[in-house]
Amino acid sequence: MGKKIVIVGGVAAGPKAACRVKRLMQDADVTIIDQDTLISYGGCGIPYYVSGDVSDESELRSTSFHMVRNEEFFKNAKGITIKSGTRALGIDRKEKCVNVEDVASGEKADIPYDILMIATGSKPFVLPIPGADLDGVFTISDLHKAIEIKKRIATGKVDKAVVIGGGAIGLEMAEAFKDLWGVTTSIVEFMPQVLPRIVDFPMASMVTKHMRDNEVDIFLGEGAEEILGEDGKVTGLRTGNRTIDADIVIMAAGVRPRSEIAGEAGLQLSPMGAIVVNERMQTSDPSIYAAGDCVEVMHQVSGKKFYAPLGSLANKEGRVAGDNMAGIPSKFKGAVGSFIMKAFDVCVGATGLSLEVALAEGYDADVALTAPSDRAHFFPTEAIVCFQMVFDRRTRKVLGLQGFGPMGDGISARIDAAAAYISMGASIDDFANLEMAYAPPFSAAIDSINAVAYVADNLCDGRLRKTSIESFLSWMDDESTQDNWLALDIRHPLEAGPCVEKFGAEKWLAIPYNEVRERYNELPHDKTMIILCDAGTRSFEIQSFLNSVGYENSLVLSGGFNMMRRIGIDWYPS
């Protein structure tokens, strides 16, 4: 037998590294320890198991060729020993052994290693509020919890669900409850938007509206203060503003690295408790590797370490760890933090930094928005997509991209291309010429990702003066400032007409796009004009023209009506 390789943690990074290192060194003695009895599963599939899209939990633990990844599978197919139901208690780095305990019997033992890997993953953050220990309060931390949640729903014990946390897992769980089981479902999010830090306000607002249209209640800017119960069972949730009845409460308030064993062994941890590793996934002890949700990795935009607990990264890190344990000096250079999520009939994706994060990191950041067709506008399956590009004004570097559109792989295509490009340091100008494979059923000759880069280019060079949807909405709500500005609606008269009728031509002037060159002298010089169209493109053209005839007092509404409609503005004439 060759080297003894011991891996603590058997969900994603651990099994991936084990299989890789075994393939590279068939004589290695590879052992995976896990305190759980269910291992090597797709944790990201839990919401789809709960919803019923995935009928049996064993599918989450199976290979693509339908073998369940259990102890026997790892032994026979992979030549890897699994010690499940075995908890790692500590690491003796001097003696090079892991002290373990059999969870069932309490029996203890030492497992020696030549190389150790820590893949202990993450643990859900449990809010320190009263009632967090009531029966019916769940985190989404392992398959057992998922099985129990689904059992409760399937046996009719869940009529009302509350999800604490409007992040990806919270939204996915809410959809699972509502869409397939018809459970009355609410989400409570402490921040003023869903998906905080992942996407910015416009994208988050479109997701919120679509979730609400699908009858999920969403309460933003409300903290969960107490989980209410009776006879030890959950009956509801009290926030700062209201009380919501519930038979089940899901706490989806984020995760933290599970790194106690590493910390106690004296390995270097980050301030938030993640294990510090180099590009070869090696900890501060050269004989110990770590990967997955327990480590932090390099952010390829900010150049700083960040915590990115994602199954896709865990697998890549695991493979790099496996390589290095076998002596191949592979590197995991970092990540840009790509994200994608289905929400009923739409999807939302992001990569790189959000505006909020970019500003907090000190970038001279701004955003470009547009809402064009996702493919040739004459092709029958065409639909509107909304993109926001985050860029640095000083360097013209693209820092991030966010997209919203109908369910399908179209948003993925742009987010993935952007992730590849951003990780290589691409600029606005690179994005303007990014070559998206073109045929009418798939894309537009000027693809949406090029279009948003064009907007960023025009903004960066000071050719485009814009206002945000937030500012426009607050103007619309604030009667006192409305005398200073005028909406210039350049859409077709049939589209603009209802707004003119509702608000009056003093406030809402309609001149069709193709008549502005003739009729611009109808415009006032003493008001700020907000130019409005569907996507923002025509508005920019009109702004350019108006500049040239002495009207420099206009602003383009970023994202236009295509985005405003998807945010669900309440003053819009129906």
Residues 11-30 that bind its own copies (CB under 8 A): 12, 16, 19, 23-24, 26-27
Amino acid type, 233: K
Q: Which is nearer to its own copies, 74 or 219 (CB)?
A: 74
Count other Cβ atoms within 10 Å, centred on residue 438: 13
Q: Is 401 helix (H, G, I), strand (E, B) or coil?
A: strand
Closest contact distance (angstroms) between CB of 178 and its own copies is: 16
Length of the chain: 574
535 vs 199: CA distance, rounded Å = 20
Alpha-helical runs (H) found in 8-167: 13-24, 46-51, 57-60, 71-73, 143-154
| Residue linked to tokens 């009418």 | 440
Considering only residues 350-369, where is the footprint of its own copies by CB under 8 A? Answer: 350-351
Q: Which is nearer to its own copies, 432 or 473 (CB)?
A: 432
- Which region, judged by CB under 8 A, interacts with its own copies, from 201-209, 222-230, 248-256, 540-548? 540-548
Q: Which is nearer to its own copies, 464 or 500 (CB)?
A: 464
Applying CB under 8 A, does 540 fall inside the site for its own copies? yes
361, 416, 503, 569: residue in contact with its own copies (rule CB under 8 A): 416
120, 239, 450, 554: residue in contact with its own copies (rule CB under 8 A): 450
Sign of CA dihedral 379, 382, 384, 385: negative
486 vs 524: CA distance, rounded Å = 9
Contacts of 194 (CB under 8 A, 6+ apart): 166, 167, 170, 171, 187, 204, 207, 208, 211, 218, 220
Structure tokens at 574: 């129906």
Closest contact distance (angstroms) between CB of 172 and its own copies is: 8
Cα 265 to chain centroid distance, Å, stands at 33
Structure tokens at 257: 């690295």
Applying CB under 8 A, does 173 fall inside the site for its own copies? no
Count residues binding its own copies (CB under 8 A). 117
Applying CB under 8 A, does 410 fall inside the site for its own copies? yes
Closest contact distance (angstroms) between CB of 459 and its own copies is: 14
Q: Which is nearer to its own copies, 343 or 509 (CB)?
A: 343
Applying CB under 8 A, does 438 fall inside the site for its own copies? yes
Closest contact distance (angstroms) between CB of 552 and its own copies is: 12
Looking from the CA of 190 toward its CB, the CA atoms found within 13 Å total 11
Closest contact distance (angstroms) between CB of 75 and its own copies is: 9
Closest contact distance (angstroms) between CB of 562 and its own copies is: 10
Q: Which is nearer to its own copies, 275 or 434 (CB)?
A: 434
Closest contact distance (angstroms) between CB of 407 and its own copies is: 8
Alpha-helical runs (H) found in 265-395: 311-325, 355-360
Taking residues 43 to 72 in sequence order and writing x for each that binds its own copies by CB under 8 A, - otherwise, the string is: -xx--x----xx----xx-xxxxxx-----
260 vs 263: CA distance, rounded Å = 5
Structure tokens at 45: 């599939």
Considering only residues 178-217, where is the footprint of its own copies by CB under 8 A? Answer: none
Q: Is 208 helix (H, G, I), strand (E, B) or coil?
A: helix
Q: Is 44 a catalytic residue?
A: yes
314 vs 246: CA distance, rounded Å = 34
Q: Which is nearer to its own copies, 130 or 441 (CB)?
A: 441
Applying CB under 8 A, does 569 fall inside the site for its own copies? no
379, 503, 520, 572: residue in contact with its own copies (rule CB under 8 A): 379
How far from 18 is each of 24, 243, 550, CA to CA, in Å? 10, 48, 69
Applying CB under 8 A, does 39 fall inside the site for its own copies? no
Q: Which is nearer to its own copies, 392 or 447 (CB)?
A: 447
11 vs 42: CA distance, rounded Å = 8
38, 426, 563, 567: residue in contact with its own copies (rule CB under 8 A): 426
- Which region, judged by CB under 8 A, interacts with its own copies, from 192-200, 238-246, 347-355, 565-573? 347-355
Structure tokens at 331: 């590197």
Q: Which is nearer to its own copies, 236 or 352 (CB)?
A: 352
Applying CB under 8 A, does 372 fall inside the site for its own copies? yes
For strands 305-306 and 297-298, give the pairing: antiparallel
Instruction: Give the burial class of 424: count Cβ atoms within 10 A of its Cβ; 0-12 exposed, 13-18 middle, 19 or more buried.
Output: exposed
Write out the H or E segment, with its range, that includes residue 162.
strand 160-164
Applying CB under 8 A, does 339 fall inside the site for its own copies? yes
Closest contact distance (angstroms) between CB of 477 and its own copies is: 28
Closest contact distance (angstroms) between CB of 265 and its own copies is: 28
Residue whose C-alpha is closest to residue 51's, from 183, 215, 186, 180: 180
- Which region, judged by CB under 8 A, interacts with its own copies, from 108-116, 218-226, 304-312, 522-530? 304-312
List the end-to-end C-alpha distance of the chain, in Å, as a whole number. Answer: 75
For strands 29-34 and 81-84, give the pairing: parallel
Residue whose C-alpha is closest to residue 51's, from 270, 344, 281, 274: 344
Catalytic residue among 19, 44, 386, 533: 44
Applying CB under 8 A, does 463 fall inside the site for its own copies? yes
454, 472, 508, 551: residue in contact with its own copies (rule CB under 8 A): 454
Considering only residues 494-523, where is the footprint of its own copies by CB under 8 A? Answer: 513-515, 517-518
Asked if 151 and 281 count as a contact pair (C-beta separation under 8 A), the reply is: no
Applying CB under 8 A, does 95 fall inside the site for its own copies? no
Applying CB under 8 A, does 226 fall inside the site for its own copies? no
Active site residues: 44
